[in-house]
Chains A and B, each alone.
Chain A
Amino acid sequence: AQSVAQPEDQVNVAEGNPLTVKCTYSVSGNPYLFWYVQYPNRGLQFLLKYITGDNLVKGSYGFEAEFNKSQTSFHLKKPSALVSDSALYFCAVLLTDSWGKFQFGAGTQVVVTP
Chain B
Amino acid sequence: EADIYQTPRYLVIGTGKKITLECSQTMGHDKMYWYQQDPGMELHLIHYSYGVNSTEKGDLSSESTVSRIRTEHFPLTLESARPSHTSQYLCASSEYQGTGELFFGEGSRLTVL
Contact = CB atoms under 8 A, between A and B. Distances in A.
Q: Give chain B's interface residue range (CB within 8 Å of chain A).
A: 20 to 34
Interface in B63-100: 90, 92, 94, 96, 99
A100 B94 contact: yes
Determine chain B's interface SS by DSSP, over half rule: loop
Contact of B99 (A49, A88, A109): A49
Interface stretch (A15-23, A36-44, A64-72): A36-44
A10 to B, nearest CB: 10
Nearest to B42: A106
A106 B40 CA distance: 9
A12 B109 CA distance: 27
Pairs of residues from A and B, 9 with the lowest C-beta to C-beta distance, nearest first: A43-B104, A106-B42, A44-B104, A46-B101, A32-B99, A104-B43, A43-B106, A43-B107, A51-B99
Given A90-B42, A101-B58, A104-B42, 17 more contacts: A32-B99, A34-B101, A36-B102, A36-B104, A43-B105, A43-B106, A44-B92, A45-B104, A49-B99, A90-B43, A94-B99, A100-B50, A100-B96, A102-B45, A106-B41, A107-B40, A109-B40
